[in-house]
A and B are shown apart, each in its own frame.
Chain A
């Protein structure tokens, strides 16, 4: 096989595996060779057990030989963000708090991938506890943007996006609380989808902000993203917010050329880099030329999204991360003392600066005397933002914006200014606040750096987002470009 397997889409790999032209062992062997050559440059993976990968590949090939293949993902590697539990593999959230932990159980999505015959392929770097937009907050290693090794890959699922862009793996899982799938996808020139709140079970996802967190698929093409989404979505009683597609019907994708696309007023103006705006406007013109109806929509409370998010997310994080007390699992300080002193020392030694900052902020906005002024007002603002999005989506099928206002910045450039970093998420946050599905699709370059556009749809309209993305991808093929490494 002359063409490099690491460049191929999962759908094509699946066709070759099904036709008997490729074995999972050969595929995994090629990807492991790629890992040896590239991972130290990019830093996408924090852990990869090569013997375990090959054992899984052999088991997959044996199933296929016996006529017991499990579907389109049989034998295809899927790499997993290090906040999603896979039994027997590390589960560190890229934090010193959890660093030696090996998960004693599978997340729901890991169970789904095993049931689909996929290879559970290694652990991907991330911002500590998914808090960040650059993967610089990992306590384990730096991940760099494969398109420019002096720049950040985005975050918090930066390892996932960088692994895909550099051909280390064809499919990956990320998690998205305020843009953590879509923002790194945009910065690395890959596709990332945050599903409707409740479509995919979070059982086995380490909690950050539970009213916002979702697991989602990431891939080098929209088609692959859809393949992975279909394997993940299913009802699960262990996540009480998860309804699964069997309980609720996904809106059919329909004819992408008849989609009504809303462009939020002002979203291509202030703060958006000119080359990003140009690439996104070109995508709008593409859809117009295809016959889509383009209109301008109003989202008057857009400016409230970032403060609302950072109140709600940090409040929930301060509560969720209360569980790290050095008692049951994770880091316990060697400092002797009372239980209170042990807990305080364990947390202070285990958490990194951004996690501490968010816990302090979340503690403050929930504290006596301030909760009404911050937390309750944020919940009211969230209601307003959701109502405005749903009203806009009553008149159009999808909303189109840039995914991120600017291309990937240089490593360290925003490290001392947390507020500037929070503003990276300005376009992605509302979908989390409103529980809506959203996708980032590559649409060009700003210089040598990838740019993505962002589609948001009504609840359960994933198929429409994917149909729109595929229409664009089929015509352009940006997703199939690979950086030189």
Chain B
């Protein structure tokens, strides 16, 4: 199990911006933790995976409309809103 992650790439995937200090710290800690995971690489494991289901019954409910929070409650907890809608930075340019 070769460990060779690119901390800049990982941070970008995770949508995190890290300082140089954080990059050094997390790189060293992740290397240490991944070293401990070597036991997984060495283990004799079954071919099947565990999909975490304890219950066999079909647990899906019927797809029917139910109560929802509503715009007032949702915009009250949003970081920014206007006219009953959540506002965000411009996503699409006018010129596009």
Contact = CB atoms under 8 A, between A and B. Distances in A.
Interface of A: 101-102, 104-105, 196-198, 211-212, 237, 240-241, 243, 247-248, 301, 303-304, 306-308, 310-311, 318, 322, 325-332, 336-340, 342-345, 347-348, 351, 353, 356-357, 359-361, 363-364, 367, 370, 373-374, 376-384, 386-387, 418-419, 422, 433, 435, 459
Interface string B20-33: 00100010011011
Leading 4 A-B pairs by shortest Cβ distance = A332-B79, A211-B52, A379-B49, A383-B50
A322 B76 CA distance: 21
Given A105-B69, A379-B50, A435-B52, A329 B78 contact: yes
A161 B76 CA distance: 33
B40 A343 contact: no
Contacts of B60: 240
Contact of B30 (A342, A364, A380): A364
B50 A196 contact: no
B86 A104 contact: no
B16 A198 contact: no
B57 interface: yes
B96 interface: no
Interface of B: 1, 5, 7, 10-11, 13-18, 22, 26, 29-30, 32-34, 36-37, 39-41, 43, 45-52, 54-55, 57, 59-61, 69, 73-74, 76-80, 86, 88-89, 91
B26 A386 contact: no
A394 B93 CA distance: 63
Interface of B is mostly: loop
B50 A198 contact: no
B79 A363 contact: no
A331 B79 contact: yes
B57 A336 contact: no
A348 B16 contact: yes
Contacts of A382: 49-50, 52
Given A332-B79, A344-B16, A310 B10 contact: no
22 contacts: A101-B77, A102-B77, A240-B59, A241-B59, A307-B36, A310-B37, A325-B15, A328-B86, A332-B80, A336-B89, A339-B91, A342-B88, A347-B15, A348-B17, A356-B16, A356-B18, A364-B5, A364-B34, A370-B5, A379-B49, A386-B50, A422-B33
A237 B86 contact: no
A357 B91 CA distance: 29
Nearest to A243: B55
Contacts of B10: 360, 363-364, 367
Max chain A C-beta neighbours (<10 A), residue from B40, B46, B59: B40
Contacts of A351: 16
A101 B78 CA distance: 9
Contact of A381 (B36, B43, B89): B43
Contacts of B59: 240-241, 243
Contacts of A308: 40
